[in-house]
Amino acid sequence: MLNILNNLHLNTFFWMVLILYSQSNLAVAQDQSLGLEEAVSRALIDDDWLSASVQRESALQQEAVLSAQLPDPKMSIGLANMPLDSFNFNQEAMTQFKIGVNQTFPRGDTLELQQQQKILQSEVNPFLREERKASVRLQVINLWLDSYLAQESTTLINADRALFEQLVELADSRYRTAAGVSRQQDVVRAELELTRLEDRLTSLRQRFDGSQQMLSIWLPFEWVLLPVDSCLPDFPRRNLNMNGVAQAAVEFADHPKVRAMDKTIDAALTGVELARQSYKPSFTLGANYGYRDSAPMGMDRADFISVDVSFDLPFFTEKRQKPKVEAATYNAAAIKTERILLFKNLLASFQQTSAQLNVLDERKALFEDVLLPQMNNLTETTLTSYTADEGDFEEVMRAYIAELNAKIEFLGIVVEKQKKLAKLDYLLTKSAEN
């Protein structure tokens, strides 16, 4: 009997452990969420553009090797001075079998400059990859924050929906115990607001799904199905004042976009030097060997060897070399102007984001310190007055709706502030490349 009881206790303990283990696994599965840094890291890992950039850099490096090589030599084989009356190779003394080799040497330092230009073009890609990483990070952060805003707004509405349901019950109870048209209108109004809450939830669900689908560009599909983490990251604030392009040129000098443009300018300036080589002549060296057969009487004939140098004469430069150099010069000047424009755009974006961030800080403080406490006091006061038959139900509903809207608006301010901080972080990105 004792053994039976012990077995029953063991079986009961086993099933209890199994149930608790299953519930804990279920809780873990339900608690899975998509963190911001996890999303950013995975997006960068799966970004095919970065792989393509590495391939483009490798292609340019191989082209640099190719650009520094001399053209392939040219070989010629032929017969010279063959008599047409007999086609006899040894009839005439000048009849020869010729074989020759020619090698062309490009103008000036063309090969060296071509290689240098390709190397500079390849060195643009590491900076472009850094800028791409910073840009992708900013895009993923914005999409994640959009999902967070929709999700947490839904949480706020669901939390307050219970209050609205209690208001419906309160209005219905007062309507049943006291006659009057106004009481019936209270019930209808309360039910209407509940319906409008359901509509807002549907709209928020649509916004959440839209943000998640946009995240699918960067993340695996199974990650997109997860809810976002309810913990909002706080990006550090960078306090920096810039008052002009000259200061912006210093602060943004190491931004990957600027560094990439610097390399592009260097490549363009090399292109100017390359164009100037067109004023110099190119040379072709040739060597030919001529074989002659013995004379009909058996006398040996001497073979011939010929060496020649040919080169072009760039005399008429006004409409050939000069336009080529000027075109390369204008191209380099245009890129330098675009660099100045880039500084202006970065500065304008920085100033705009900083100004928007200051306004968001003021609004956040106003909501936290004044508006939200006042809204809460108003809802409590109007509800107390209504339950004491001293207030209007419409005022109660208006106060509760206003407080809910204020909470959602405050959440939007907090999320928008994080977006602006993330953008400042992008604008102040420093390149790690030398």
Sheet containing 96-105: order of strands? 74-80, 96-105, 283-291, 304-311
Torsion-angle region of 96 (φ positive above 0: left; ψ -120 to 50: alpha; else: beta): beta
The confidence score (pLDDT) of residue 132 equals 96
pLDDT, tens only, 68-80: 999 999 999 998 8
Residue 178 has pLDDT above 70, yes or no: no
Confirm if 283 and 105 have CB atoms less than 8 A apart: yes
Predicted local distance difference test score (pLDDT) of residue 168: 67
Amino acid at 194: L
Q: Evaluate if residue 212 carries a pLDDT over 60.
A: yes
**Reduced DSSP (H G I as helix, E B as strand, rest coil) percent helix, strand, coil of the chain, to 5:** 70, 10, 25
**Angle formed by the axes of helices 393-427 and 321-366, nearest 10°:** 140
Mean pLDDT of 143-166: 85
CB atoms within 10 A of CB 52: 12
Is the confidence at residue 356, as pLDDT, over 70? Answer: yes
Express each pLDDT in 312-342 by its tens digit: 888 888 888 899 999 999 999 999 999 999 9
pLDDT confidence band for 4 (50 / 70 / 90): very low
For residue 176, pLDDT beyond 60: yes
**Res 14 pLDDT > 80:** no
Tokens representing residue 56 in the block = 């483009």
Q: What is the mean pLDDT of residues 13-37?
A: 50
pLDDT at 78: 92
Q: Percentage of residues in the chain with pLDDT exceeding 90?
A: 51
More confident site: 276 or 31: 276
List, for residues 216-258, the tens digit of each pLDDT value.
889 988 888 889 998 988 888 877 778 788 888 899 999 999 9
Q: pLDDT at position 190, please?
A: 67
Which band of pLDDT confidence, cut at 50, 70 and 90, is reported for residue 20?
very low
Query: How big is the chain, counted in residues?
Result: 434
268 vs 321: CA distance, rounded Å: 17
Residue 384, H or E segment: helix 372-387
The confidence score (pLDDT) of residue 85 equals 83
Q: What is the pLDDT of residue 245?
A: 83
Q: Helices in 68-123 by DSSP H: which ranges? A: 110-122
pLDDT band at residue 279 using 50, 70 and 90 as cut-offs: very high
Fold of domain 109-282+334-427: Outer membrane efflux proteins (OEP) (1.20.1600)
pLDDT at 278 over 60: yes
Nearest-angstrom CA–CA distance, 366 and 412:
14
Other beta carbons within 10 angstroms of residue 116's beta carbon come to 19
- Residues 64 and 118: beta-carbon distance below 8 Å: yes
Q: What is the pLDDT of residue 9?
A: 43
Q: What is the pLDDT of residue 241?
A: 79
pLDDT band, residue 260 (cuts 50/70/90)? very high
Which pLDDT score, from 0 to 100, does residue 22 have?
38
Cβ of 202: how many Cβ atoms within 10 Å? 11
Say which DSSP state 237 is in: P
As a whole-number percent, the residues of the chain with pLDDT over 70 amount to 85
Query: Which residue has better confidence, 105 or 318?
Result: 105
Residue 268: predicted pLDDT: 96
Residue 91 binned pLDDT confidence (cut-offs 50, 70, 90)? confident
For residue 54 the two structure tokens come to 């590495």
In the predicted structure, residue 187 carries a pLDDT above the cut 70: no
- Is the predicted pLDDT of residue 182 greater than 60, yes or no? no
Mean pLDDT of 93-121: 93
Residue 10: pLDDT over 50? no
Q: Kindly write down the DSSP assignment for every residue of 156-185, as one continuous string.
A: HHHHHHHHHHHHHHHHHHHHHHS--HHHHH
Which residue is it, tokens 């040739």?
A: 286
Mean pLDDT over 190-209 rounds to: 80
* AA identity, residue 369: D
> In this structure, are residues 293 and 89 in contact, taking their beta carbons and an 8 Å threshold?
yes
Instruction: Report which of 203, 111, 131, 200 is spatially closest to residue 161, judged by C-alpha positions.
Output: 200
Q: Select the more confidently predicted residue: 165 or 179.
A: 165
Report for 85-94, 100-109, 225-234: range of highest mean pLDDT? 100-109
Per-residue DSSP letter, 280 = S
Q: How far is CA 298 from the centre of its chain?
A: 83
Mean residue pLDDT across the chain: 84
Token pair of 257 as six digits: 């976009």
